[in-house]
Each structure stands twice: as structure tokens, then as C-alpha cells.
A and B are shown apart, each in its own frame.
Chain A
Amino acid sequence: VVGAGGGSNDVQWCFSQVKGAIDDDVAEADIISTVEFNHSGELLATGDKGGRVVIFQQEIENKPQCRSEYNVYSTFQSHEPEFDYLKSLEIEEKINKIRWLPQKNAAQFLLSTNDKTIKLWKISERDKRPEGYNLKEEDGRYIDPNTVTALRVPVFRPMDLMVEASPRRVFANAHTYHINSISINSDHETYLSADDLRINLWHQEITDRSFNIVDIKPANMEELTEVITAAEFHPHQCNTFVYSSSKGTIRLCDMRASALCDTHSKLFEEPEDPSNRSFFSEIISSISDVKFSHNGRYMMTRDYLSVKIWDLNMESRPVETYQVHEYLRNKLCSLYENDCIFDKFECCWNGNDSVVMTGSYNNFFRMFDRGQRRDVTLEASREGSKPQQVLKPRKVCADGKRKKDEISVDSLDFNKKILHTAWHPQDNVIAVATTNNLYIFQDKVN
């Protein structure tokens, strides 16, 4: 079985768990809209269209034959639907992005955002409670002071673990357009938020003001030709960030150069292949996600049909290009009509930057091993979901000559799309979100 993994051994991906409802009738609120591991990989957060955040925690198990499982750790309502009275528009509660803060103390912190408001949530554990109050019973009833004959000092006693999520900061009213990205700076103090036309810099502690660092809004909106689609801080250089555009360009900006980073330091753009020109060339060149590699030397972009790896030192073209589902190129018109061409796929790196992963249709997802120059297509489905069952590579047949076990392009289910995937920062554990289910796959432990 051809797998993809870090190192010379072939990784065999196995089903581990699936979270979410089984029935086919998907409630819109349960549609998963973002997935993110924390920095240690112990916690896995998902956000959904209903504004809820669910955090799973990896249980540390000592059994050598299987990896630890992820179980629900905390669930909370992060955002509620709101109404903008001035514009008479509803503000969706859908969680667009979650980003974990690096851990500083016992509590965990994450940023979650919808279209307009970013919130800092503190997730803390409580496993002790004070007992032995003088004026209060254990159930909370007050004791008449006159009946107290002796005093005692309350002590902490163990209790069942309780996980509490509380909103610590609300960063609101800074975005006119819809927020598409948040990214935490390596300085551990600031973070950026990006909407269609502007990027703002925040201090994690300060909610009543933010600093605008990119503004591409033209003086006359009729001259608008591109929007910001994603933005991210460099993993190590706190002065550097990138943002991608709907025209397929990526701009790298240095905050030391000027206060307003409208002028880029680097512009990454690949010349268009004229033979591929069509009505939809511009749409499919729009970048839906940009991610720095962990080592900070590369960045990856996802457009509709491909994944590209860029060397930060070379602006003229990507160093690697991987076709995700090239067989869709001559179906663009149908995909435009059924809106699929607007789907925003994300992408992610594995821990040592040797493999990249992204989603596709029919609940397929793809992995590209950069070193071994191999790729694999796997499927997230209930059929392949027996414990430790090895995933069978899938193949899509582009022409009419369909071999056994291949799937023809016309049989693909375009309603089953994998837009969000995440890779554990150290191990070969991946989280793959279908419409309303979260699949966790791990490499086979021998």
C-alpha cells in the first residue's frame, strides 16, 4: 500500500475514530467549518456553522498496540447569530477559524472567529473544590451563624474533572468585510485578522483598538479587482506575514518596512498557462488557503485544482505543484453552475514538512509526499470505518476506460466535500472533516 509519511517507511493510514451524527440528514448547524490541533497535538478543536466549538482531548494510554483516542473535552457556544442594524444584515455565527495560543500555564487559550468578531476563550480544568466552609453547607445552603460552635479551615478536595470555557476577550467592530483568517504571531503577544480588503493587527490583551496594516480597498469600489483570501504570520519571524489574493498572488510583507504594509516586500505569482485559459481561469486561480511550513522556509497555497509549494526566496514560480483533481478541469462549467467552483479547500503540512494534505470531493482527500514524489488518494467514509482498518487508496478515472475499483468522474458526489483537514504537529495522526463528521486516522502501529 502506497502511503505517505515522514521518513522512508511507507505509512499505512488506518481508521481510528469518527465523531458526529450518523444520519444522512445533516443539520446545517452541525456542518464543520474549521479543524485545528493545538501545539502539542493533545487537543483538537472543531468549529461549526452553528457557532459551536467542540474540543477533543487525546487520552494518554499505555497500551502499545493502539494509539490514544480523542474524546470530547469541552463543548461551548462561541458565537451567536447577530444582527447589524445599520446595514440590515445578519451576521452568521459560523466559526470561520480557530487558532490555539501557545500554552503558557495550566489553562488553554484559543481564538475563534466568525465573520465579524474574534473571541479569546480560556479553557481550564477544575478537579478540586473547596469543602468545609463554616457558613455554607456542601449543597450551598447557608448555615445559621448562631449554630456554629467550632471553626475549621476549608480545604480543597478532589472532584470529578470539570472543563470550563470562558470568553476572556472579545475583539469586535474592527472589520467591515467578512473575516477569513486569523493568525497568531510568534511574538506571543499579537495576532492578525484579515477580511476581504483589510488586515488588522491586534494585541492579545487589548480589545478596544487594532492597527490596520494592510488596506487594499480602492478609492472607487468599481475598480476592485482582487480581494484578500487568507493571511498568516511567519512561524518564526514576528515581523513577517503573507496574504493571498483572489487573483492567485501571494504578498509577503515586512512590518519593519512601514506601518502600512500595502507595498509588499515580495510578490509571489506564477504566470498563467495560456493554453488553460477559460471563462473560469480567474476563479480557479483564486487562492483559498496559505500555510507556512513549520520550518518557515516554504509556504503552501491551495487553489481550486492544485496545491503549490513556494520557496520564500523565489517569487517567480512555485518550486512544486501538485494536481489535486485535474480531471475537474473540463468540468468547470458544471462546477460553476452547482457552485462547487467556489468551494474553499484548506491544506496542511505534516510535522516535518515532508508531506502535505488537502481535501477533494466524494469525501476524498489527497496526500503528497514531497520527498518521495508520491501521492495517494484516501476516502473518509463509514464503510472504511472498522477500528484499525487500513485505508485503501482510491483512484478516479478521468477517461472512459474505468478499471476495477476506480471511480469515474461522473460518479463523484460533489456534495461530499472535504474542505478542512489538520495534521498532528508531531505524529502521524490526521483529522479530516466531512460535512458533519470528523474522522481521525492514524498510521498503523505495528
Chain B
Amino acid sequence: MDVSAEAKRIMAVSISKLYASRAQRGGMRLHRSLLLSVVMRSARDLYHSACLAKEREELGTAHLVPVTPEEDAMDTTASGEQVEVEVSQVEPEPESPLTPTIQEPMSFDSEATQGACKTRTFIAKETVEDKENRSPVSPDRHSRKRRGKASVAPDFLPSKRARLSLELGEERVLRTGGRTCCRAGDVFTTLSLNSNRAIAAF
């Protein structure tokens, strides 16, 4: 469990760094954001594998609980600058990235104490997919500056975005091939979307 605790800590540190870099003078640094995302992905993958191993040990076979995207959406109501956490369970087929992934929203604390390992997804505040209407304002600045005309939708309307990010996540799984099982709507997808928002418009 040390490994997964370490991985979890690194994920948390990475997320906070990614957030902090948005407010940095001079804008988000692409190089730094990329490195942070890479570390996050490694940590997440390791965490998933560690959980899988633990899961296999404890339960024999993994329980698969299908969850609809709407359920996800309800859990992704974010407020302000908070990082929303969604707990999910990974299907134990690490070699086949095409296997549809499943989610099961659960609270972290209660499960953790029982020793059951649930993977966590960090869904950033904005899971924007709308490439047409990207706001020129980087997400966390809306509190300090007036918005431009082509602004993003407010944070409290998550449902469509969550679904879109799920779809994207699956696309990403297909592309990245032999990676250990990636969840749909996985954090790297959503975060990479966000970290690259400032520059993807070009």
C-alpha cells in the first residue's frame, strides 16, 4: 500500500501544481504542464496497478458495477476552485485497452479505512470540449477579470462535459494502445484538455 499511497500523494501534488501554474505570470508553461501531466499519469497508472493487485488478492475476482454517465455527472458538480474527486473501480483487464471501463462513485474515506482500494479520478473544474468557443480567459482568472464574449459555460453545468470527456477518454484509450487500463473520462484526458486550453486555439 506504500506504493499506492505514494502514488496518490504524487497525484495530489501534481494537481495542485497544475492549478497553481495557471495563475503564473506569463501564462501556463507548456513544458512544465507536460512534465506534470506525465508524472501524474505515471502515478495514476501505478496507483491503478497497485489497486488491481490488491483487489485481486482480496476479492479473487473484481466486481463490476456498471454506472451511467449521468451518475457521473451528478458527482462532478464542482464549486469554485475545488478539485472534484470521483472514485471508480477499474476493470481488471490491463492488457486490453478496448474493454469499456466502469465507474462506481464512492466516497474515499469510508472505503479507504476498510482497506478496499478504490481508484480516484481527479476531474478538474472545467472539462471543456468546445473547441469553437474557447474562452481567451484562462479558467481561474474569471474571478479577477471580466470575461470575454466567447466565454466558457459556468462551472455548475457539468453534465454534458462529463459525458464528452468520457468519450474523449475512450478515444484516448484506443490511441494509447498498450497502456494499463485507462478509465474513460480519465484524469489525464481532462487535465490535458485543460492544461492545453490556452494554446490549443491556435
Interface residues of A (CB under 8 A from B): 86-92, 94, 115, 176-178, 196-197, 221-227, 229, 246, 279-280, 282-283, 286, 333, 336-337, 339, 342
Contact = CB atoms under 8 A, between A and B. Distances in A.
Interface of B: 6-7, 10, 13, 17, 25-27, 29-32, 34-35, 38-39, 42-43, 46, 136-138, 141, 145, 148, 168, 172, 175, 189, 192-193, 196, 198-200, 202
A168 B26 CA distance: 25
B50 to A, nearest CB: 13
A223 B202 CA distance: 15
A283 B136 contact: no
A87 B200 CA distance: 11
Contact of B26 (A92, A333, A336): A92
Contacts of A197: 30
B17 to A, nearest CB: 8
A115 B172 CA distance: 32
Contacts of A280: 39
Nearest to A229: B31
27 contacts: A86-B136, A87-B27, A87-B138, A88-B138, A89-B27, A89-B138, A90-B27, A178-B27, A178-B30, A178-B31, A196-B30, A221-B196, A221-B200, A222-B168, A222-B172, A223-B175, A224-B34, A224-B196, A229-B31, A246-B31, A246-B34, A279-B10, A282-B39, A282-B42, A286-B35, A336-B10, A339-B17
Q: Is the interface of B mostly helix, strand, loop or mixed?
A: helix
Given A333-B10, A336-B39, A222 B29 contact: no
Contacts of A224: 30, 34, 192, 196
Contact of A176 (B138, B189, B202): B202
B115 to A, nearest CB: 24
Contact of B31 (A89, A92, A227): A227
A317 B10 CA distance: 31
Contacts of B175: 223
Contacts of A333: 6, 10
Given A88-B141, A282-B38, A227 B30 contact: yes
A364 to B, nearest CB: 24
A342 B26 contact: no
A137 B151 CA distance: 62
